[in-house]
A = this chain, B = another copy of it.
Amino acid sequence: MRDPIRVLILGTGQMGSGIARLVCEKQGLELVGAFARRSSRDGMDTGQAIGLGHNLGFAISNDLNTLIEHSRPHIAIQATSSTIEDARSEIELLVRHGVHVITIAEQAAYPAHNAPEFTEETHWLAVSHNVAVLGTGINPGFVMDLLVIALTGVCADVHSITATRINDLSPYGPSVLSSQGVGLSPEAFQAGVESGSIAGHYGFSESVQMIADAVGWDIERLEESREPIISQVIRTTPFVTVEPGQVAGCRHTATAWAGGSEVIRLIHPQQIAPQQEGIETGDSIEIYGVPDIHVSGSPEIPGGDATIALAVNMIPRVLNAEPGLHTMKDLPVPSALLADVRSFVRADRIMD
């Protein structure tokens, strides 16, 4: 049996810590290092910092270059950033050291249209260093794009697609809640949308373009709207209480046109405690075509846990991939890893 697959984690927030703990659970993977940008975490034992409950014997580092050289990872999972601008230098440093990269930065899930220069340069940098790079996550990356694309595979024709994801923000703390306008008055929400402080969901553009490229639609217009979800009742979470008339969340919608017709609509209302107002959470995909396809699930696939799982479950897919920059639609589907992860890696992949 070959040696364990050496994994480096970048980021020790909620996502990074969850990914690191899952790496520690999986046979055939070895967590060999953890990078954090926050210098306050520099020197803290990684096992304690990620919530394992015991020491791992190595500290969190905020010197990525030295960490790579000392820990010699085969693959790194980046959970430090949402934007390409912010994620890029770390990705490039990893690639230049010959390290495969999985990033959960939303903009990197499908960068070809919004960041063509990053896409081109990262692809060829990865090719020249013989490694693969992938952006993944629940959304963008899976539930409103990859799953949609796969379901169009049973269609002889498709006229339009609507995907809806109704989730519950109750587990989230102040920074997420404020980005969705939770607790604001409708007027303050509107001002926040105009100023950009209420962002809603990150990743609609990426999901729309991934779907469009998969089926061959040339998107000529993409519009996004962010509407307040006004609570009718008192909604309470550990972090906030929203009174009737206040904003419980943001209903973010993207609509895309091709050939003069609306072809894709993605609807993602994010709010606290929807069940306190009788709203059921869930994911649904409706494809209007030949034939029509309707698939749904309730409750929604939990975003945080699913992103953690996807980041780890894609490790063998990335190790098996051709060198270059990949997207979820261009690799085989992920699967749970219930055996030694090394058994999912092609025998011709050198891992030294």
Contacts and interface: CB of A to CB of B under 8 A. Distances in A.
Contacts of A22: 156
A290 B305 contact: yes
A44 to B, nearest CB: 24
A308 interface: yes
A253 to B, nearest CB: 22
Nearest to A142: B154
A335 B214 contact: yes
A216 interface: yes
A173 interface: no
Interface in A253-295: 283, 289-291, 293-295
A150 B297 contact: no
Contacts of A290: 305, 309
A152 B339 CA distance: 14
B217 A339 contact: yes
A343 interface: yes
Contacts of A149: 333, 335
A306 B331 contact: no
A147 interface: yes
A155 B309 CA distance: 5
B332 A331 contact: yes
Given A147-B150, A154-B305, A216-B338, 4 more contacts: A154-B309, A158-B336, A216-B339, A290-B309
6 contacts: A153-B336, A154-B306, A157-B336, A216-B337, A295-B295, A296-B297
